[in-house]
């Protein structure tokens, strides 16, 4: 038997309604917050991620699905969503349109990781990107979109915010970090030892327990912010408060990608265990330049949809299945009448089902119950003769009579 590749997940027919619900919520929010969708390919030139994500990140160093295509080009399956959006921004000169550009995507993401609960090799992200604004208000607005999605679903992950400054203040902070970590180098993991020379900030994001303990005592970036970055961070806090969004400042949040500047944030749901970050994002003012565009500030986030579903499950939020059939028409020797009735219901936009298995009445009713039909109607000789049917409301356990020509109208109203 051929099984799915390690680290992938199938969405089976009986579960896809959960994905639809989340995707519908996202599209509704996108309309309200005026974000336009962007769709980009599943693969890009490897170069884009080397420049856009950064060659000191785990994603680029260890996790990319990279291969040469038949034309000898180096291709990489998207390991995150932002770089492709930035590429479009530059390639189509979207800067000339009106700024800010407010966009979102839902995309598969591929990372060669060690699979475990909440950590897949193919997962899906809802991402938001706003280009063109430097302000902390833009950051707060982006954060408010994630919060609104969570609120709507009835979950309340904790929002952690931090500022990782600009290249100027980060240079001073790097020095302090290197000095601190040099004193603890013996206890750090091998990867972090190399990070010390390449990107010491990344050590704060290490998943290794020992490194985590050492990182907890490291100097805080917040003590090293330059005046402008400090003001920006204070404004962010204010902008969140004005919007009624609770937050916790957490100076150890640095994010796994190289392109961040100033604001970084994560939404964490402690209830789903170690892999508890549902959404992560921040500001990336230098990304556009790093892939060859004219400098343009940007802010955004990526939200893991599998982790979002895990979180809903963990906190006991069930998603109602709104895709169940409205009515099942059971036939008692009246196949043609039933088929015509089912057809006219469907023509009127009602989710209707009838028998296509040549089953007896009992088996049809069992099936109607199993698939969760709201109403059932049995059509036999006497119903046809009297032009009247008994409608059974499966939810309320009630029964009532409808004339044949009332069925479609009733089902339309009660769909």
Binding site for ligand ATP (CB under 6 A): 80, 111, 113, 118-120, 123, 125, 256, 275, 277-280, 302-304, 306-307
> Which of 333, 318, 310, 264 has its CA nearest to residue 153?
318
- C-beta of 52: minimal distance to ligand ATP in Å? 13
How far is the C-alpha of 42 from the C-alpha of 36, rounded, in Å?
Answer: 19
* Distance in angstroms between the alpha carbons of the first and the last residue of the chain: 41
The CB-of-286 to ligand ATP minimum distance in angstroms stands at 17
Between residues 216 and 356, which has the closer beta carbon with respect to ligand ATP? 216
Nearer to ligand ATP, 43 or 404 (CB): 43
- How far is residue 307 from each of residues 35, 103, 116, 209, measured CA to CA in Å? 23, 22, 12, 22
Beta strands in 224-284 (DSSP E): 248-249, 261-268, 277-283
Report the nearest approach of ligand ATP to the CB of residue 57 (Å): 9
Contacts for 364 with CB less than 8 Å, ≥ 6 apart: 328, 330, 331, 355
Q: Which residue is nearest to ligand ATP (CB)?
A: 304
Minimum distance from residue 113 beta carbon to ligand ATP (Å): 5
Pick the closer one to ligand ATP by CB: 205 or 355: 205
Instruction: Evaluate whether 153 touches 312 at the Cβ level (below 8 Å).
Output: yes
CB atoms inside a 10 Å sphere around CB 20: 14
When the beta carbons of 160 and 224 are compared against ligand ATP, the nearer one is: 160
Q: CB within 8 A of 198, min separation 6: which ones?
A: 56
For residues 20 and 131, is the Cβ–Cβ distance under 8 A?
A: no
Q: Given the DSSP bridges, would you call strands 375-379 and 327-331 parallel, antiparallel or unpaired?
A: parallel
Residue 78 CB, nearest distance to ligand ATP (Å)? Answer: 11
Distance, CA of 361 to CA of 367 (rounded, Å):
10
Instruction: Give me the least distance between CB of 352 and ligand ATP, in Å please.
Output: 38
Alpha carbon distance 174, 389 (integer Å): 78
- Nearest Cα residue to 43 out of 108, 114, 93: 108
Strands (E), 34-131: 36-37, 43-45, 66-68, 74-77, 101-110, 122-131
Residue 113 or residue 134: which is nearer to ligand ATP going by CB?
113
Nearer CB in complex with ligand ATP: 146/353: 146
- Residue from 333, 330, 376, 378 nearest 355 by CA: 330
- Name the burial class of residue 89, with classes exposed (0-12), middle (13-18) and buried (19+) by CB atoms within 10 angstroms of its CB: buried
Shortest distance in whole angstroms from residue 111 CB to ligand ATP: 5
- Shortest Cβ 314–ligand ATP spacing (Å): 13
Least CB distance from residue 324 to ligand ATP, whole Å? 29
Burial of 92 (0-12, 13-18, 19+ CB in 10 A): exposed
Q: What are the C-alpha distances in Å from 168 to residues 85, 97, 349?
A: 27, 31, 61
Cβ proximity to ligand ATP: between 302 and 354 the closer is 302
Q: How far is the CB of 305 from ligand ATP (least distance, A)?
A: 8
């Amino acid at each position: 038997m051929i099984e799915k590749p390690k680290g992938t997940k199938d969405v089976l027919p009986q579960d896809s309604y959960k994905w639809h619900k989340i995707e519908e919520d996202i599209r509704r929010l996108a309309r309200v917050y005026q974000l336009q969708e962007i769709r980009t390919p599943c693969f890009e030139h490897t170069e884009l991620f080397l420049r856009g994500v950064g060659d000191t990140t785990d994603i680029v160093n260890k996790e990319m699905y990279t291969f040469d295509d038949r034309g000898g080009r180096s291709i990489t399956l998207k390991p995150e969503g932002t770089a492709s959006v930035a590429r479009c921004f530059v390639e189509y000169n979207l800067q000339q349109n009106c700024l800010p550009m407010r966009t979102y995507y839902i995309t598969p993401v591929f990372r060669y990781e060690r699979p475990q609960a909440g950590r897949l090799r193919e997962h899906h992200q809802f991402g938001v990107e706003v280009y063109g604004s430097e302000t902390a208000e833009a950051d707060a607005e982006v954060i408010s979109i994630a919060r609104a999605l969570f609120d709507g679903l009835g979950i309340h992950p904790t929002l952690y915010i931090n500022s990782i400054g600009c290249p100027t203040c980060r240079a001073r902070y790097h020095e302090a970090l290197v000095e601190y970590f040099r004193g603890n180098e013996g206890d750090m993991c091998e990867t972090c030892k190399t990070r010390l020379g390449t990107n010491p900030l990344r050590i704060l994001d290490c998943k290794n327990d020992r490194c985590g303990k050492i990182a907890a005592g490291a100097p805080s970036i917040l003590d090293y912010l330059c005046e402008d970055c400090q003001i920006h961070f204070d404004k962010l806090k204010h902008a969140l408060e004005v919007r009624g969004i609770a937050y916790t400042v957490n100076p150890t949040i640095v994010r796994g990608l190289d392109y961040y500047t100033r604001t970084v944030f994560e939404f964490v749901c402690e209830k789903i265990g170690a892999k508890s970050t549902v959404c992560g994002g921040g500001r990336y003012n230098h990304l556009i330049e790093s892939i060859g565009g004219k400098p343009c500030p940007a802010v955004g986030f990526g939200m893991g949809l599998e982790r979002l579903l895990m979180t809903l499950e963990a906190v006991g939020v069930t998603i109602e299945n709104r895709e169940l059939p409205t009515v099942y028409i059971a036939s008692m020797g009246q196949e043609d009448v039933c088929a015509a009735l089912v057809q006219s219901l469907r023509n009127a936009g009602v989710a209707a089902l009838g028998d296509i298995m040549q089953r007896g009445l009992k088996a049809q009713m069992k099936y109607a119950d199993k698939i969760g039909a709201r109403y059932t109607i049995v059509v036999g000789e006497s119903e046809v003769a009297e032009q009247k049917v008994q409608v059974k409301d499966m939810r309320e356990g009630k029964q009532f009579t409808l004339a044949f020509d009332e069925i479609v109208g009733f089902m339309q109203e009660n769909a």
